[in-house]
Amino acid sequence: MNLCSILGIEKPIIQAPMAGVQNWELAAAVSNSGGLGSIPCGMLTKDQVLFEIINFRKHSNKTYNLNFFCHKMPEINHQTLEAWEEQLLPYYESFSIKPLNEISGLRVPFDANLADAIEPHKPPILSFHFGLPSAELVTRIKSWGTVIISSATTKEEGVWLEENGADIVIAQGYEAGGHRGMFMTSDASTQLPTLELVACLKHELSVPVVAAGGIATSTDIKEMIRLGASGVQVGTSYLLCDEAKT
């Protein structure tokens, strides 16, 4: 089955989820135009995620992708925070504002609470960054009939993703403008250019491989598909759209 059939789209183009510069509006515009619109959810609360789903559905009857993170959250060092606030105290006083005494805008990993919130909507597609959620959550998501996508930056990551439940793997080459999806290594020397990574993963995997990184024009898209990608994920070019919050 090809990428468009799996995702229920007309064009093999996924709009990259870009937290902070887009919401459901860009996702709806892309989906209504035949691609796969993505909603970045890593910085959203449960209520905010539901708000995005509801508004997307009000403006589109097409398929959509919710994107979440799967990283391990580091513990917050409150002593360090207090030290920073003390150092910056003259500026707080100068502008007559109070320290927050907390970190806001954190990207939080997908968990059972988020699954509980979105389950009634049975979202058609979920994509993940930095691996996959627990095996239990992957099984639960698949029980909704949801397609699972995740990004790989190396052969080892791609193989692991397929073995652990990813239906589609995004090959994130080192040209990608967004954050790296590295989750099995922190060694930058392991990162490959998009074309090389696509070729590597196509050879190793049986699931569709989507190219991401340095793809900005129709010529780029056609070339990636000609060279073996099942489709592409495009991010930066969408920042020029009226529906983006850039």
Tell me the pLDDT tens digit for each residue of 110-163: 999 999 999 999 999 999 999 999 999 999 999 999 999 999 999 999 999 999
Statement: residue 194 has pLDDT above 80: yes
Average pLDDT, the chain: 94
Of residues 89, 88, 52, 87, the one with CA closest to residue 67: 52
Q: CA 168 to CA 157: how far, in whole Å?
A: 13
User: Is 3-71+107-240 in CATH node 3.30.930.10?
Assistant: no
Q: How many C-alpha atoms does 157 have within 13 Å on its Cβ side?
A: 30
Q: CA 23 to CA 18: how far, in whole Å?
A: 8
Statement: residue 43 has pLDDT above 80: yes
* DSSP state at residue 33: T
Q: Which residues make beta-bridge pairs with 151? A: 170
Statement: residue 210 has pLDDT above 80: yes
Q: What is the dihedral of CA 159, 122, 60, 52, to 10 degrees?
A: -90
What pTM does this model have? Answer: 0.90
pLDDT at 28: 98
The ranges assigned to domains in the chain are: 3-71+107-240
Task: Calculate what percentage of the chain has a pLDDT beyond 70.
Answer: 98
pLDDT at 101: 67
